[in-house]
Amino acid sequence: MTKQSDELNSLHKEIVILNEHLSSQKGMYEMTTAYLKNIQDELNLAKGKLEAINKDLTDSINYSKHIQDAFIVQIDKLREMIPNSFMFQSPKNIVSGDFTWAFADGEEIYLGVGDCTGHGVPGAMLSIFVISMLNEIISSNRDYNPAEILTHLDGLMFKYLTLYNATIRDSVEIAIIKLNLRKSKLTFASAKRPIVIIRNGELTMTKGTKYLLGDPYKRNEELRNFEFDLEKGDLIFLYSDGFADQFGGQNSTKFTNKRLLELLQSNSNLELCNQFEEIKETFYTHKGENSQIDDVLLLGFQI
């Protein structure tokens, strides 16, 4: 009887422990599940906050694009001055460091294509500053030639960008032309950006001066004007470096300036609107799935 009782007690104890074991196992999984759910809830909350912040930032940048667009010459305005023209623009982000500037004074047209260092918001802020300075310069004297405009821009950039903060190292590469369509005259001056003129299929590229605007210690040459007598049918192109520097193709290599010149030359017998389509298609085909590395701006017109 005692032996049976001992066995029963022992069995009872084992069952109690087994129950406790199972109950603990259940508790362990419930606690872990609750812990993971809590982490998931926190992540969802953080995701919601990040999405809201992202939306605020994107809305803000989208709105700043409207402001930047008010400063930059758009294609319709350009065509009022030069009817047979196009602009291929592909900003890396919503706002761009590449910009066009234009000013018409009677039959004289001033046109600039600029490429501010960097891209996105910093590039866009600098572009608005540069455009404002260009407007100020041309308003103060409408007889300035492109080299004089750039010289004044250089002085203003040095004055304002180093006035309060000596650490600003940003600048702009910019080509400026003064165009008289009636007289078929073009004057070109530039800090680092080239001009391409194609006449009867023959391409001439004039490089910009090696000159960093706003930094008196980084220049190898003086700014100077180049004069061109134009003929009917001449094609003129101004562009930033984003197109040539874009990686793509089978080996993910840069498009290169050489290929860009070949592209402009090989399309030069097409109607200008078709040249624009070819340029656009070539860029996006080359880029493929690669990320865009910089802003792209290419402006073309035909006399």
Judged by the rule CB under 8 A, the positions of this chain that interact with other proteins are: 17, 20-21, 24-25, 27-29, 31-32, 34-36
Minimum separation from the CB atom of position 28 to other proteins (A): 5
27 or 48, CB closer to other proteins?
Answer: 27
CA distance 113 to 50: 37
Q: At CA 298, angle to CA 169 and CA 188, rounded to 5?
A: 75
Q: Where do runs of H (alpha helix) occur along 72-145?
A: 75-81, 120-140
Minimum separation from the CB atom of position 17 to other proteins (A): 6
Contact 102/110 with Cβ under 8 angstroms?
A: yes
Phi, psi of 48 (to 5 degrees): -60, -45
21 or 207, CB closer to other proteins?
Answer: 21
Give CA separation, 53 vs 46, 56, 92, 96, in Å: 10, 5, 21, 21
Minimum separation from the CB atom of position 33 to other proteins (A): 9
7 or 105, CB closer to other proteins?
Answer: 7
Both tokens of 95, joined, read: 């706002």
Minimum separation from the CB atom of position 12 to other proteins (A): 14
21 or 169, CB closer to other proteins?
Answer: 21
DSSP state of 238: E
